[in-house]
Structure 1
């Protein structure tokens, strides 16, 4: 039986760059098309193809588009050593259960209690006396070690966010950050408590008539095992869930988790 040759892993940045360029040719992707598919600026792709340093997030997104192994390419890009074991090459492990330093260098074991689904509540940005309720799922991403959040069951589904959790070791608050083509939305909330709740403030952009303006409002995450009794969408005073939801949001300010200065 004829053996199929196995392509050895890239061990240096030039080799990793060659793999990327080869995959682009095979998939017939231009720089602009790769940037669009990877959800980043074309200038970022130009920097990467020029061999300049780029974020791990960019490498991850590019690998997902091109079908390349992220872990191996990342280690080669950063110059990690390659060990030889029983005649086979393998990339040196970098502790894949720990998030990057700039995200807080937290381990999966230390943040496993965040994994789950949460009832998410905030005030509507445009409709008076209206609350917004949806579900947020938090999971561990083994490909790019860190906690990942995904918003679900939003009435305005096209505006649902997906991002990462940044957990500084010296703070009692954590950050839920989504970043798309330079546009950032940040949510700053308290670390999860015994009741499974996180409270704080969301800052983002909201469309008002013909333009977008910065907005901020208190936000609450309440962990739920099931959502049988919960209501999602725009919650008005006519809704049965309105009073309970409003009390949860108001407690975010009254209990000192957030302060709005006018």
Structure 2
């Protein structure tokens, strides 16, 4: 088995995989370093394989497929049979079947407060879909103003909590979104916990309300940093206010310090 995993692709297969990766990186506007981190391979390994100086191994190809959430094999001359998928996620993600979670697959307008401007709202797109290779749901962010910070990861839907978890793990660094099941109109409200960039290399833990709105309910969705004078600001702010006013998420005050 180890020999199969370590086996190298042929020159033709390598060219096919490299072309697909370059096209996908350009489409998603992600860097080679970001992809290498997501696939948990070294940047040197990725660059040498993309340049043709060292063929991809099957193990590296599988990791890249999982990171990108797409198949790099099975077409354009790379005729390996599709990887088996039992259509059922592991217990780590809630042991859901694809048929049971098909309702969540799609594109969502995503809103949260802007970290760079306290008066603005940050808007982008989140896509959720099934990954045959990993046999679970995955998400990827798109249309982000700060494309270098685009996130992607796994989706857990356990029955016990009744909530949905969108988790990113980049070399041990985690970001977590916890959102409610959809409301009657399809929105999912919750909380984002991540790291906020500060001065220099300083990173500070931060939490903020977040809303995912089906794109079908937002046909005129506007992305980027939405300032108070923007036409979409009032409606976007109403969504965020509902997160804490319902409340779908609670931000606890700190204890009172008495001298």
Instruction: Please say whether Structure 1 and Structure 2 have the same fold, judged by a TM-score greater than 0.5.
Output: yes
Pair 1:140-2:125 in alignment:
no
Residue pair 1:39, 1:181 contacting (<8 A) in 2 also: no
Residue pair 1:196, 1:222 contacting (<8 A) in 2 also: yes
How many corresponding residue pairs? 207
Equivalent runs, 1:146-161 vs 2, <5 Å: 146-161=136-151
Deviations 1:87-122 (A, max 9, x none): xxx9xx7x6110111111100110000011111000
Match of 1:200 among 190, 202, 215: 190
**Bigger Cα Rg:** 1
Q: CA deviation at 1:146?
A: 1.1
Residue pair 1:204, 1:215 contacting (<8 A) in 2 also: yes
Residue pair 1:125, 1:215 contacting (<8 A) in 2 also: no
Moved more, 124-133 or 103-112: 124-133
* Structure 1 residues without counterparts, runs of 5 or longer: 1-14, 28-32, 43-56, 70-89
Pair 1:115-2:117 in alignment:
no
Give the 3-state SS of the residue equivalent to 1:225 in structure 2: helix
Corresponding position of 1:241: 232
TM-score (norm 2): 0.70
Match of 1:61 among 55, 60, 63: 63
Moved more, 215-224 or 226-235: 226-235
Q: CA deviation at 1:147?
A: 1.1
Query: Compared with structure 1, are the counterparts of its residues 175 and 38 closer, same or farther at alpha carbon in structure 2 (3 Å cutoff)?
Result: closer
Separation in structure 2 between the aligned mates of residue 37 and residue 231 of structure 1, nearest angstrom = 30
* Structure 2 residues without counterparts, runs of 5 or longer: 15-32, 43-58, 74-80, 254-259
Match of 2:246 among 221, 231, 255: 255
TM-score (norm 1): 0.69
Give the 3-state SS of the residue equivalent to 1:97 in structure 2: coil
